[in-house]
Structures are given as structure tokens and as C-alpha cells.
Structure 1
């Protein structure tokens, strides 16, 4: 496995407002950017080996250089809904950002339970990591346009 520093910590929640408030207080996040109704469709996403079709509300912020992501499942089956139904709200995954070739190599070596490509070309894959004390590790390839969007969110924290 690659030696990689996590770039994101993510929680799954039923209540974005409450989780934003708690993490603002605990971690010093200042501004949250909401992306309601993000659709992960069967043409671009898989869930447990089959086509995925689900919607989630997502909120992003930063604590220092670490991105904070909140995910509230809205509809459909996903590892987010699965986690929320089984465990309740909580820490869901940490994410490492990889170059395109590193992403492909990491995915080839892992037990991937959900994967896809988002608008703008960001690729993601979740490896089951329950034995490591966190439910999932997310591998992400973040193209320059998406990285610029994330940098903008980070600059809003200052």
C-alpha cells in the first residue's frame, strides 16, 4: 500500500445542521459549502459490484488542511445508507488523494465496495477497512478543476 497522508475525514449523518454545528465548535471549521441532492447514478457509480443509484446531501469544510465532509443519505442504497442504518451517525471514512496511476493500482489491490466518477472527473473508490478501526478508506483521484474548487473552500476558512 502507498504511504499516503489522509486529506479528508468524513461523517455520515441524518442532520447536516447539527453535525456542522458540532464540528464547527470542536474542530474550528468556519464555513460549510452544501451540495444538496448529489446523484450517483448507474452510469458512473457502482455499489457492491452492481450499478448504483442513490442521492446524498453533502457538506464540505476544512479544519486546517484537512477537508471535513458530511454526507446525509437521501434515497437509494449506498454504503452511506448502510452505515447509517447499521451504526447511526458517525465517522465513516478517511480519504487519501492519489495520482491517476496510483489510484488504479490502489483500487486493484483493495476490496472495493463502492466506486465511481463524479462530474468534473473526480474518481473515488471505497475499500472496506473495518478491521483497521474505520469503516472505509476512500481512494480519490482529484483532477485540477476539482482541486481548485476544494482550494477555494479552504481559502474561505481564513
Structure 2
């Protein structure tokens, strides 16, 4: 169970090897890797070229929020291993932003927990996104689609 917020890139293969090393109870590993797109999506359409994306955060507060999200996944599913690596700083299209990996004895739990983590990271993690476009810099606001995806995981 690990959460890291870092400026440096990460090696997906090395991270997954460390996550599963020696744990023979893992029967399924679900992985999500988020990348910087070269086009920003607005209202369902690809618009505005993106030259770079800068992610800002508050150290300490961000790690705590990610740990709380990870702990919620641990409560909901039988998980053997989880990893969240989230980058900050300036990144160009094609660069990795986030790695979410979930290991469980069963694939269904791994898939669901991974999807949950990604949905909640998008809406509950305190990161601020600034896009550098040919038209200038612009802050990225919340998206209704992300809020709807996260809302389905709310306990009733």
C-alpha cells in the first residue's frame, strides 16, 4: 500500500514488479496509467492544442488526501496491494501523469477498486491543472463527466 506524489517520471514495469514482489496472494492486477493529451476535451469535443500541462498541489495535504482515498478502497474491496504515483510540475503531451495499480486475489475486485481510485482521484485529489496552449495559459476546471463517475461510488 503506497502513495507517492513526485515531480519525476516513473517506470511502470519497475513499479509493478515492486508492488507484486513476493506476494503470491495476488490473482489479478488492474493498472491505469494516465497520460498528458495533446488536445483538451471541452464539451465532448477535442479542441485546443495543449503544449504542456502543469500540475500544482499542496505538499502534505495532497498525500493525505490520496492516502484517504486509498484507505477507502481498502475498506470496500479485498486488496493485497495498491499503488498510487501522481506527478506534479510541467509535463508535455505523451508524458505519464499518474499510475494506479491494484492487486487482489480476484480480478473483479482489482478492476472495480482501480476504477474507483481513478474516479475519486480525478475529483477529490487536490491538484490544480494549468494548460499551456497556443492561445495562452488556462486553468482547467471540474468536468461534469468526472463528477458523475465519482458520484456512482458514493455510499447511500
With the length of structure 2 as denominator, give the TM-score of the two structures: 0.30
**For the pair shown, which has the larger CA radius of gyration, 1 or 2?**
2
Q: Which has the higher contact order (CA 8 A, sep 6+)?
A: 2
With the length of structure 1 as denominator, give the TM-score of the two structures: 0.30
